[in-house]
Amino acid sequence: MNTPKPLLLTTDHKEKLVKLVKSGMTPAIIIQRAKILLLKADGLSNDSVAEALGINKRTVLLWTQKYRNRSSNETLDDILSVSGGRGPKEEISGEAKTWIIGIACQASCIQAGIPPV
């Protein structure tokens, strides 16, 4: 049986990953990614990491490869970050929201007897 090759983390990256996992302010998805890298650095197999975290083995492979294949100018935050593009598209533009809020504020002022600006 092949012994898994540990993921080599820099000291700075390992410290930052541990802090992310322990922080109460880190989003769950980032904690999961940090744990993947830390467990791989401890020498666990992809299957063991997946089982320990209750995730798919492909997710372990993805984040291990993202770390190993990072470019020299990519930070750890860049690697772990949640990319945009998912979720529903914004139906009301920011400009339209501003206009609606302005109208609502004017109506509130009128009701309160304050002349609108």
Q: What sign does the dihedral 28-34-37-41 (CA atoms) show?
A: negative
Q: What is the rounded distance in angstroms from the CA atom of residue 15 to the CA atom of residue 53?
A: 20
Q: Hey, where are the domains in the chain?
A: 11-82
How confident is the model at residue 116, as a pLDDT? 62
In degrees to the nearest 10, what's the CA dihedral of 40, 35, 79, 16?
-100
Could you tell me the CA-to-CA distances from 1 to 7, 45, 52, 57, 72 in Å, in that order? 18, 11, 20, 18, 33
Whether this prediction's pTM lies above 0.75 is answered by: no
How confident is the model at residue 1, as a pLDDT? 52
How confident is the model at residue 2, as a pLDDT? 65
pLDDT of the chain, 117 residues: tens digit per residue: 567 788 999 999 999 999 999 998 999 999 999 999 999 999 999 999 999 999 999 999 999 999 999 998 989 998 898 776 666 776 888 888 888 888 888 877 777 787 766
70-76 long-range Cβ contacts below 8 angstroms, 24+ apart: 76/12, 76/13, 76/16, 76/17
Instruction: Could you please state the CATH topology (level 3) that the domain comprising 11-82 is classified under.
Output: Arc Repressor Mutant, subunit A (1.10.10)
Q: What is the rounded distance in angstroms from the CA atom of residue 62 to the CA atom of residue 11?
A: 22
